Structures are given as structure tokens and as C-alpha cells.
């Protein structure tokens, strides 16, 4: 390349570097200070439901699940009497709230043809009102690991759904049908949620307009994490990529935004958007159903910045009892549970009223 050409080329390159640095700075600038966009105003159902749900009643469900684990060898793991008793408990609460609860089975025998077929149960209940071709779904896994009673993981999710279902009732005035799911065998790899979607016809899968996953919402040293899409700028898109497994199908960002907005409205400082990690939302992502998720953190350590924003201890796990025998009722962070309960009620009511934003 000639010297003048090289000189010209050098100028072009410098100019280009100049542009990208500027863009980078602008982008970095925008990433750091970009506030969470606020969602549309809340309708009457959001106000009503967020006002009615109570963490005190949710705690009663956690105490009941603890008692079940204590009476069944210390756990509520898939395929155990502790899990079956948990199913009966959830069905009982839903029926008392006026729902027709069903317990569709799924095969939990895994891939090896040698394994005998092991039918296990999910629990499903939905409102009698709302458009049944337009279903808004929320779910939490009901099983624990074998090493402990699973009160934060995931009794806290189950208790939140039971309290929301009880306050909503089976005949609310809603535009869209609301469906509650309590999945089995999540701890062995989202087996129950996979079995649930596989058990539906393609047409029935299409009727599910969104799925909100709730897995651990009361970690003792927890945080406010929301899953769903990608907030903000091209810079983040560049950084995170757009793999549906981690960001969710189109529409997931709207679910994440609405849930984060509802958390902020309960007084939480800037919920953090995180990627999906392969919980019960995975089969819904595979089915191209928009998804969102709420979780308060497990064995990873809280950062200094997070401790400043949300309280708690930096450098310590969000839940030191994660998957341990000590994951009992006294491991529950009531304050976190209270914020998440109201935010989940708000987000569910928001989409039970309208899913227009998802389109
Ligand atoms: Zn879990």
C-alpha cells in the first residue's frame, strides 16, 4: 500500500476509531444511567389485587409445606410421599378458593427406555372467566430437592401463587383467562413443565399468550431479579446477544418490563434484569411463548452495589441454605416475599386485563 494511500487509510481508520469510541462512550453512558421505562398506567384490577394480597397469609402456606416436609422425611422431592402431600395441599387450597383444580400426569421416567414409566402430577387451575383462547399463565415448581424441605426453593413461589389465586378468585372480571400451574419434578430439569406442554395439543399451546415463572422469591440475603427480554440499548444487545434461551421469545421484554415496573412500584430500587437460566420457563421458550421470570437469588454472592441498593450482606450468598436441610420457614425473608407477592399480583392483573403490548 503506497504511503499516501497508507496515510489516507490511517486517517480513515482513525476517523472510524473516533466514531466507535464516541458511540461506545455514549452507549456506556446510556447503559449506566438509563432508568427502567415505566409501564402503562395500572387498571383497577392491579390496584385491587396488589392491595389485597398479604405475605402473612402466604407465610401460612409456607408453614403448611414445612409441616408436610417434617412429616415425610424432611423433604417434598419428586416421586416422594412429601410431594404427593404437597399436591393434595395445593389442590385443597385452590378448591377452597373456588377453582376446579386438575392434576394432569406426566411421565418422569427420563430418556432411558429401560426405566419403568413413573407417572407424576402437576397441579393446574384457571379462572372460569376471561377469554379461554387467550390464556395468561403463571407457574412455580412444587417439588423440593431431596436434601431439604424447599421452603424458599420453591415454597415461596408456591405460597405466592396460592395467595394470589385465593385473592383473585375463580370468577374475576378479567379480559383474559388466568391459569395457575404448580409443576412437579423441576429439580431434575423442568420435567413437569416439559411434560405439561407436551401433553397439550399445538392448538392449546397457541392459546397460552404468556408464561410468568416464579422460582425463589424470599431468599434470606436475596435481591430483586427479573427475567425477560432485553432492556435498553443496542450496546446491551451487542453484549448479551439475542439467544431466545436466555432472553426469551419476542414479547418477553415487555413481560420483564412490566414485572420490574411493578416491583419498583412496591418501593424496590431498580430491579436487576437477568438472563433465563433454564428453569420451568424453558419448555415455554421452546414453544415460542413469551416468558418472564422472578427470582431472588440462590448460591451466588450479593455484590456491594446490590447490598447498597437492596440491603443485606455483600460477598455472602443470596441464600446460604439453597438446596440444604436448613431451607426452612426461618430461612424466609418476609420483606422480599412481600415485595415480590405484590409485584407478581400486579403483573398478573396487568396482563389479565390486557396483553395488547405483547403483540
Ligand atoms: Zn427452584
285 Cα–ligand 1 center, Å: 18
Grid coordinates belonging to 230 = 432485553
Instruction: Report yes or no on 264 lying in a domain.
Output: yes
216 Cα–ligand 1 center, Å: 6
Beta-strand pair 123-126/225-227: unpaired
Q: Is the pLDDT of residue 149 over 60?
A: yes
Mean of per-residue pLDDT scores for the chain: 89
Instruction: Report yes or no on 286 lying in a domain.
Output: yes
- Residues of the chain with pLDDT > 70, as a percent, come to 82
Instruction: Report yes or no on 228 lying in a domain.
Output: yes
pLDDT of residue 143: 98
Q: Is the pLDDT of residue 311 over 70?
A: yes
Q: How crowded is the C-beta side of 292, counted as CA atoms within 13 Å?
A: 28
Q: Residues 53, 167: contact at Cβ < 8 Å?
A: yes
Instruction: Report yes or no on 124 lying in a domain.
Output: yes
351 Cα–ligand 1 center, Å: 24
Residue 187 annotated to the active site? no
Instruction: Report yes or no on 338 lying in a domain.
Output: yes
pLDDT of residue 258: 96
Lowest mean pLDDT among 110-114, 195-199, 300-304: 110-114
Instruction: Report yes or no on 359 lying in a domain.
Output: no
265 Cα–ligand 1 center, Å: 26
Q: Is the pLDDT of residue 341 over 80?
A: yes
Q: Is the pLDDT of residue 286 over 60?
A: yes
124 Cα–ligand 1 center, Å: 18
Beta-strand pair 225-227/131-141: unpaired
Q: Taking the CB of residue 237, how many other CB atoms lie within 10 A of it?
A: 12
For the segment 14-21, the average pLDDT, to the nearest whole number, is 55
Can you give the residue range of the structural domain that contains 160? 5-352
Lowest mean pLDDT among 27-31, 83-87, 151-155, 217-221: 27-31
pLDDT of residue 50: 97
DSSP type of residue 185? -
Q: Residues 289, 206: contact at Cβ < 8 Å?
A: no
| Active-site position among 114, 146, 163, 186 | 186
For the segment 45-69, the average pLDDT, to the nearest whole number, is 98
Whole-structure pTM value? 0.86
pLDDT of residue 291: 97
Q: Which H/E stretch holds residue 176?
A: strand 176-183
pLDDT in tens, 23-34: 555 555 444 444
For the segment 320-343, the average pLDDT, to the nearest whole number, is 98
Instruction: Report yes or no on 358 lying in a domain.
Output: no
| Residue 60: pLDDT band with limits 50, 70, 90 | very high
pLDDT of residue 222: 98
Q: Answer whether the bond into residue 23 is a cis peptide, omega within 30°.
A: no
CATH code, domain carrying 24? 3.40.630.10
Question: Which alpha helices (DSSP H) does 144-290 contain, by range?
Answer: 156-168, 191-198, 202-206, 234-240, 244-247, 252-265, 282-286
Q: Is 155 helix (H, G, I), strand (E, B) or coil?
A: helix
pLDDT of residue 4: 56
pLDDT of residue 38: 47
For the segment 285-302, the average pLDDT, to the nearest whole number, is 96
pLDDT in tens, 179-235: 999 999 999 999 999 999 999 999 999 999 999 999 999 999 999 999 997 655 566
| DSSP labels, 99-118 | ---B--EEE-S-S-TTSPP-
Domains identified in the chain, total number: 1
Instruction: Report yes or no on 357 lying in a domain.
Output: no
pLDDT of residue 277: 85
Amino acid at each position: 500500500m503506497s504511503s499516501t494511500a497508507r496515510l489516507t487509510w490511517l486517517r480513515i481508520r482513525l476517523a472510524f476509531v473516533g466514531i466507535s469510541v464516541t458511540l461506545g462512550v455514549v452507549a456506556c453512558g446510556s447503559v449506566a444511567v438509563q432508568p427502567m421505562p415505566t409501564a402503562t398506567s395500572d387498571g383497577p384490577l392491579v390496584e385491587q389485587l396488589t392491595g389485597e394480597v398479604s405475605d402473612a397469609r402466604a407465610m401460612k402456606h409456607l408453614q403448611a409445606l414445612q409441616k408436610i416436609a417434617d412429616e415425610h422425611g424432611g423433604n417434598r422431592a419428586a416421586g416422594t410421599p412429601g410431594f404427593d402431600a404437597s399436591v393434595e395441599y395445593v389442590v385443597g387450597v385452590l378448591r377452597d378458593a373456588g377453582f376446579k383444580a386438575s392434576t394432569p400426569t406426566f411421565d418422569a421416567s427420563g430418556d432411558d427406555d429401560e426405566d419403568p414409566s413413573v407417572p407424576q402430577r402437576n397441579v393446574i387451575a384457571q379462572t372460569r372467566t376471561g377469554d379461554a383462547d387467550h390464556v395468561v399463565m403463571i407457574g412455580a415448581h412444587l417439588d423440593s430437592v431431596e436434601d431439604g424441605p424447599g421452603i424458599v426453593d420453591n415454597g415461596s413461589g408456591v405460597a405466592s401463587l396460592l395467595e394470589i389465586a385465593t385473592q383473585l378468585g375463580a370468577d374475576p372480571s378479567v379480559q383474559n383467562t388466568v391459569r395457575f400451574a404448580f409443576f412437579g419434578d423441576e429439580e431434575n430439569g423442568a420435567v413437569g413443565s416439559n411434560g405439561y406442554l407436551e401433553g397439550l395439543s399445538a392448538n392449546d399451546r397457541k392459546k397460552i399468550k404468556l408464561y410468568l415463572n416464579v422460582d425463589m422469591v424470599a431468599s434470606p440475603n436475596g435481591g430483586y431479579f427479573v427475567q425477560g427480554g432485553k432492556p435498553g440499548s443496542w450496546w446491551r444487545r451487542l453484549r448479551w446477544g439475542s439467544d431466545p434461551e436466555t432472553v426469551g421469545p419476542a414479547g418477553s421484554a415487555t413481560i420483564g418490563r412490566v414485572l420490574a415496573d411493578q416491583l419498583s412500584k412496591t418501593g424496590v430500587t431498580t430491579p436487576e434484569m437477568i438472563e433465563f437460566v433454564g428453569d420451568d420457563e424453558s419448555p415455554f421458550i421452546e414453544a415460542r411463548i413469551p416468558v418472564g421470570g422472578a427470582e431472588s437469588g440462590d448460591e451466588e454472592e450479593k455484590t456491594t452495589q446490590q447490598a447498597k441498593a437492596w440491603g443485606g450482606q455483600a460477598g455472602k450468598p443470596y441464600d446460604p441454605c439453597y438446596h440444604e436441610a436448613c431451607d426452612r420457614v426461618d430461612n424466609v425473608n418476609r420483606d422480599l416475599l412481600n415485595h415480590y407477592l405484590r409485584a407478581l399480583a400486579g403483573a398478573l392483573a396487568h396482563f389479565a386485563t390486557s396483553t395488547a403490548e405483547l403483540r
